[in-house]
Structure 1
Amino acid sequence: MPEQDLELAEAQRAHWQQTYTVHPGMYGDEPSAPAVHAADVFRAAGAEQVLELGSGHGRDALYFARRGFTVTATDFSPVGLDQLRDAASHLGLGAAVDTTVHDVREKLPLSDASVDAVFAHMLLCMTLSTEEIRVLVGEVRRVLRPGGTFVYTARHTGDAHYGTGIAHGDDIFEHGGFAVHFFDRALVNALADGWRLDEMHAFEEGELPRRLWRVTQTLPG
């Protein structure tokens, strides 16, 4: 990784650590709308094990566990995962949720074809280069069982913040300390190469509001 990219990645890691420390449970207890959708898709596909990438303090991981899935939750913030483990224990879901500190720039800490489904809400559009995103999706493909489903969301180039703030290149722009890689349609299509692209759904979330795509793609069986 170029030194400039490494510095930005480390700055983002520190920023998220500080954010979760100052604002524990910052996204609340209710699951995100994409997680609710994903749980239905995963259940219909017969999935039992779910890997969540970038789980943060765990509102979606806990929802998957409440829906009866066994969940492996990863994040590069130990602070966020500490909050997730505490919440899981309090809710009696500790046995259903396993947490692992992990940076998605590294190989996923799972064996080949070991999970039924993968979920990532706004993780792919963090401070990752296009090449790092491609490698990560390749890792998702490696750990999914044949016929497994991948649901992810990403802010796209129609978002009001696209092209503004601090530009870091490769369609990455920073606002308020948070850097985002905005997706265009070509990137979504490229990431679906070799998969079945089931859905590309546009939606809005939060303030501004953020404009995102919810992408569902299935690994051939």
Structure 2
Amino acid sequence: MRNNVQPSNLSPDPRADLMVALSTDQREHWQHAYGAHPHMYGDQPSAPALHAVEVFRAAGARDVLELGAGQGRDSLYFAQRGFTVQATDFSDVGLEQLRDRAAAEGLNTLRTMVVDVRDPLPQADASVDAVFAHMLLCMALSTNEIHALVSEIRRVLRPGGTFIYTVRHTGDPHYGVGIAHRDDIFEHDGFAAHFFYRYLVVELAEGWHLRDIRAFEEGELPRRLWRVTQSLTG
């Protein structure tokens, strides 16, 4: 039984090819889901996005990078609230739907980009004020890939920048349910999720100012998540 202080194993991943195959399958699954359900998550922003706007404004942020924007309900909300937004996702289907909605609203401060977060982020060093990722880190990513991604987020943030993310945790009803892959990743109804122990959140905050870890619930199941707010010293 794992405990909440066990360090992650960051050695080379002997099953990396299996993780690549899982990620490819997941991309195809999300492409189909977005195509079949153009308003899959509705039009209203998520509760974490509402929180993020207040935190980003208080920090004086002007531009926001959203990772895993999907169909873009939160990116649209950030743009509506006056931020310049870069919305990224590995689904071009979801991003096309986002572009159509942004154009219909006349939001010319929102740009989209297809990005696979297993690769280095295309953004330049110290180029954004804030990063937002709602349930992106708890997709089908290995622990090594999550650590690498957070390092990339640190690179693209300006000094004093803020990173807000949410993840499903091991108290979620779907933890341990369905197809077990590895690294606490379980696939249920075709969707794979990496369920976080608290120690992983703490590890990811090393070298950051960890401002808040807040538990919340979302959806009908409901999904059980942590909302994490951390910032760089500036």
**TM-score scaled to structure 2, two decimals?**
0.93
For 2:37, the equivalent position in structure 1 comes to 23
Amino acid in the other structure paired with 2:199: A
Question: What runs of 5+ residues in structure 1 fail to find an aligned partner?
Answer: none
Amino acid in the other structure paired with 2:67: L
For 1:62, the equivalent position in structure 2 comes to 76
- Displacement of 1:208 after TM fit? 1.1
Which of these residues, 75, 81, 89, is aligned with residue 75 of structure 1? 89
Amino acid in the other structure paired with 2:201: V
Aligned equivalents of 1:51, 1:12: Cα separation in 2: 22
**Are 1:10 and 2:20 counterparts?**
no
For 2:161, the equivalent position in structure 1 comes to 148
Aligned-CA RMSD value: 0.7
For 1:167, the equivalent position in structure 2 comes to 180
Question: What runs of 5+ residues in structure 2 fail to find an aligned partner?
Answer: 1-14
For 2:219, the equivalent position in structure 1 comes to 206
- Displacement of 1:25 after TM fit? 1.9
For 1:139, the equivalent position in structure 2 comes to 152
Q: Which moved more, 1:122-131 or 1:157-166?
A: 157-166
Aligned equivalents of 2:26, 2:41: Cα separation in 1: 18
Q: Deviations over 1:65-105 (max 9, x none)?
A: 01100000000000000000000000010x11010001000
Which of these residues, 137, 140, 148, is aligned with residue 127 of structure 1? 140
- SS across alignment from 2:181: strand
Q: Deviations over 1:118-175 (max 9, x none)?
A: 0000000000000000000000000000000000000001101111211001000010
For 2:100, the equivalent position in structure 1 comes to 86
Aligned equivalents of 2:174, 2:40: Cα separation in 1: 21
Q: Deviations over 1:33-77 (max 9, x none)?
A: 000100110000000000000000110000000110000000000
**Are 1:220 and 2:233 counterparts?**
yes
**Are 1:52 and 2:52 counterparts?**
no
Identity %: 69
- Displacement of 1:2 after TM fit? 2.2
- Displacement of 1:7 after TM fit? 1.1
- Please show how residues 105-124 of structure 1 align to structure 2 within 5 Å: 105-124=118-137
For 2:206, the equivalent position in structure 1 comes to 193
- SS across alignment from 1:154: strand
Q: Which runs of 4+ in 1 moved over 3 A?
A: none
